[in-house]
Structures are given as C-alpha cells and as structure tokens.
Amino acid sequence: MTSTETTTTPRVAIVTGGSGGIGRAVAKKLAADGMQVLVHYSGGKDRADAVVEEIVAAGGVASAAKADVTDEHEVAELFDEVEKRFGGVDVVVHTAGIMPLSPLVDLKLDEFDRIHRINVRGTFAVDREALRRMRAGGALVNISTSVTKLQQTGYSAYAASKGAVEAMTLILAREMRGRDITVNTVSPGPTDTPLFTDGKPQELIDRIAKQTPAERIGRPEDVAEVAAFLAGPGRWVNGQIIHTNGGAI
C-alpha cells in the first residue's frame, strides 16, 4: 500500500423494527449509503427477510435477527449478534413501536401498560445497550411523533410514550459527552405506513394530508432521508428533536 492509499471499514447499523414501514425504508437507505445493516424484527420474519433480500439484490450487505425489545437479555443478544456478524456497531436507528389509539377515558390500563412497555421500556433497553456498545463516531436515532405537538384526540397514551422517548434523547445526548456519539430523535408526522393508515377511511387520510403545504402525507422514504443524515454526515446535529412532517406544525 502506498502512503496515499487508505482503507475504510464499512459502518454497521442496527435498525429495530426494520421489517416494515419506516424501519424498512431506513434499512434500505442506510445500506444504499454503504452501511452493513442488521434488520431487526419481532414477529415479521418473512418481511425482515424480504428487506434483506432487497438490500442484497441492490448490492448491499444485510442480515436479519429477532429480539423482543422489551427484554433486556434479548436486546443484549441482538447486539452480540451484530458484533459477531459484522464486528461492531456504529449506528442504531430505533423505529420499533406500537400505536393503539383510543380516547383516554376508554383506554384500559392493560393497554396503556403495553404501549409504554414497548415504546418506553423498549427504547430504554435498546438505547442503553446501544450506548454501551457503540463505537466512537456513532449515532443513535430514536423515533418519536409530531403528535406530541399536535394534540390530536385519541393519541394520549401514544403521545405520552413518545414524549418519554424525546426526554430520554435530550438527556442521553448530554450523557455521551466525550464519547463522540450523537443522539437525536426524528419526529414524523402522518406517514404512509400500515401503522398510520390501517383502520382509517381514505376520506380521513385525505383530510389529514391537506394539513401540510404539500397536501400529502409523508412517505417512509422522507423519514429515512432524515434518519440517514443524522446517522451519517449530520455530526453537528446532536440532542435534537427533528420534526419531519412536511410543515404540518
């Protein structure tokens, strides 16, 4: 090797919830940017395998792994797996979550607990393991929701869970002082994924779309572009909540 030649090691990313919706778009975008990607899934093995196949067919490197994000031992095993397959981890984009909707007065406490177990405990468990293992130059990207600012009815439990995610993000960024690791949250508005569209009549979706200047709802790729920026070149963006909603708020 001459003095002018350099070698680069591909960065490694975990995308939780990478089997569908926003996670799928993020996994494909990070792979297109040259990262090796571990596509995490909980119950959607076939969908996760399909994402891996798409990435590999496009010339990227990816594999899939299962874990319950609320189980700290399974989360640790997920990170063991990424280190075994790819040698370490540089980026974690945590998209896994659920969004049951109900007016607060009608919501059962068991359902409230389930929302917070997955969205809050799951984020805590994934973030904690990520920050224990992530290499210098790393990036942690959580996913919240613009509903924390929109005050839409029926979203109280979900918005509360994502408010917790935003609070953790802002604190974790400061706890990483001296580690060269950034921590941010992407906060999408209405996005064309099953999580948002399932159960909604088209008339309602069209009405919601009119709230943005572009008069459309977001696409998963819109969110993936922002997550990839934070995971890659956006090193001077840290401890921020990035509202990615087309101007809905």
Of the residues 41, 79, 124, 158, which is catalytic?
A: 158
* Exposure string for 178-192, b = 16+ CB within 10 A, e = fewer: eeebbbbbbbbbbbb
Are the beta carbons of 60 and 32 closer than 8 angstroms? yes
DSSP tally for the chain: helices H, then strands E: 10, 7
**Beta strand segments in the chain, E:** 12-16, 36-41, 61-66, 91-94, 139-143, 182-188, 241-244
The SS3 call for residue 189 is coil
**DSSP assignment letter at 38:** E
Q: Any catalytic annotation for residue 158?
A: yes
Active site residues: 158
